[in-house]
Structure 1
Amino acid sequence: MSEDLGENYARAYGKKAGYGQRPALVMVDFAQAYYDPDCPLYGAEGCIDALASALRIREAAHKAGIPVILTEVSYADDRGLTGGRFWEKAKPLAAFVKGRSTAAFADGLVPREDEVIVTKQYPSAFFGTSLAPMLTAMGVDNVILTGLTTSGCVRASCVDSMSHGFITTVVGEACGDRHPGPHEANLFDMNAKYADVVSEAEILDHLATFA
């Protein structure tokens, strides 16, 4: 194909979703597993930079009075029964067995009393959890996604967010992965089909309108 990829996709998928009236910030799986060099999930700079960005957005969300939801992955023991086929396929999920240091929230992310923690066992923050009905009960119409990893749980949560009827916004700098290739490819695809991918600066400007 000789046509520029951006032009090709813009012709088919160039529409913007925009923002809703009542947003919520969802911070997906910022766990210590991605910051421990001895863990197979270690994500290095891509994950370090994403957390720094997400923490700035979190602060802006609180100033604006916008709900903040943190997700965590947790399995009761090393049998991983609640993880089903996901546990069988993805060997590094053992890092999320309850009580292991790698299952804890990343350094710098201490849950606040006014934040909700959603515990999950599968990639999407919505699958098998109360997240969708909770957001609906809050009157939320726009989910702002940050988190780890871009190609895994962020993408799965993005697709499910849209599928549950939420306008979905993904903040590129506030998502991270172990390699820039999957990170950029999945941001490109989410922006084309499921969500608007925006910069940290753009989302901070938007949140400031609620403050």
Structure 2
Amino acid sequence: MAEALDSNYARAGYHARQSWGRRPALLLIDFAMAYFDENAPLFGGENCQAALDHAVRLAPAARAAGVPVIFTEVKYQPGGADGGAFYAKVPALSCFDAGKDTQKLATGLAVEEGDILVTKQYPSAFFGTSLAATLKWLNIDTLLLAGVTTSGCVRATCIDSISYGFVTLVVEDAVGDRAEEPHAANLFDMSAKYADLLSTEAAIEYMQQTQKNHDKEE
């Protein structure tokens, strides 16, 4: 008889909790209008909207706690000459052509003074970008992930984040997908192997606590 999933994963030691660091950054992944425009082919529905609603709370909380806020955007030359095989595989990526409204940041979020914007062409926020070097320069040891979609760019970024040596945390109510099944499956897998899951409330509390610790050290 096949072994139950929970006991199989427990035997392997999956879902072990990490020691969270003292210098986190908040990474807001691809909150573009393409996922919130009902007429766009990438429209994500209620799950993505819920993620955005929580991200709108996370960003100012991070700034207030002195935690770096980093946005990612997908942007292509019109026609996707810089999009390679990814752009050819997914025609809907034309939503991210420069100049289109669907490429712009979703309503409710804004890149403010002091924030960082990373432009990418592929799923991971690390691939082909300066993100890893920027985080190392800022002495970041822990990366909080929020964004869309859970099964796509969030997951790809999560795997690269831990691969680069960052303690990786996924804010599970601040990531979203167009269907519950890939959303839940990918959260489960990221929790098992690559990241800890936490709520928006817990993420805010963690960021506030790191600020208190820094204040005590000064």
Q: What does residue range 16-95 of structure 1 map to in structure 2 within 5 Å?
A: 16-78=17-79, 80-95=80-95
Three-state SS of the structure 2 residue aligned to 1:192 is helix
Cα distance between partner residues in 1 of 2:188 and 2:195: 10
Residues in 1 aligned to 2:119 and 2:77: alpha-carbon distance in whole angstroms: 12
- TM-superposed deviation, 1:6: 2.6
User: What is the aligned-residue RMSD (CA, Å)?
Assistant: 1.1
Residues 74, 103 of structure 2: 8 Å contact kept: yes
Deviates more, 1:9-18 or 1:81-90: 9-18
| Secondary structure in 2 matching 1:125 | coil
How many residues are treated as equivalent by the alignment? 210
Question: How far apart, CA to CA, are the structure 1 residues paired with 2:153 and 2:85?
Answer: 15
Encode CA deviations 1:1-33: one digit per residue, 9 max, x unaligned. Answer: 554423322321132123111100000000000
Deviation at 1:55, TM superposition (A): 1.5
Task: Mark the runs of 5 or more structure 2 residues left unpaired by the alignment.
Answer: 212-218
Is 1:183 the counterpart of 2:183 in the alignment?
A: yes
Letter in 2 for 1:179: A
The TM-score normalised by the length of structure 1 is 0.96
Judge conservation of contact 2:15–2:196 (CA < 8 Å) in 1: no
4+ aligned runs moved over 3 Å, structure 1: 1-4
Tell me the SS of whatever aligns to 1:70. strand
* TM-score with structure 2 setting the length: 0.93
For 2:111, the equivalent position in structure 1 comes to 111
Partners of 2:178 and 2:10 in 1: CA distance:
28
For residue 36 of structure 1, report the CA deviation from its aligned partner. 0.5
* Aligned equivalents of 1:40, 1:18: Cα separation in 2: 40
State, as a whole percentage, how many aligned pairs show the same letter: 51
